[in-house]
Amino acid sequence: MNFPQYVICVLIGFVLVVLGAVLPFLMVMQILKSTFFLNFFSYGATVAGIFLGLIGATQSVREHRGKN
């Protein structure tokens, strides 16, 4: 399948945001041990996912602008 670049960007962003939400939940439930690296990785995944989602959304708008 050949997806547009913005769809891939949004999907990767979604996965990162979900990962950034699930990891702290697993740490609170004490399934994963809370470490300094894992805390910052979770935060970084959330921030990177939000930015990738925004970039994908702006690419989608730019591509579909004026196509009515």
One DSSP character per residue, 5-53 reads: HHHHHHHHHHHHHHHHHHHHHHHHTTSS---HHHHHHHHHHHHHHHHHH
Mean pLDDT of the chain: 94
Domain contains 9: yes
pLDDT of residue 1: 76
Domain contains 31: yes
pLDDT of residue 35: 96
Reported residue count of the chain is 68
Tell me how many domains the chain contains: 1
Domain contains 67: no
Contact criterion met (CB below 8 Å) for 18 and 42: no
Structure tokens given for 67: 């196509």
Domain contains 48: yes
CA distances from 10 to 31, 46, 48, 66 (A): 29, 13, 11, 21
Residue 50 lies in domain = 5-62
Domain contains 68: no
Over residues 15-41, the pLDDT tens digits come to 999 999 999 999 999 999 999 999 999
42-62: average pLDDT: 96
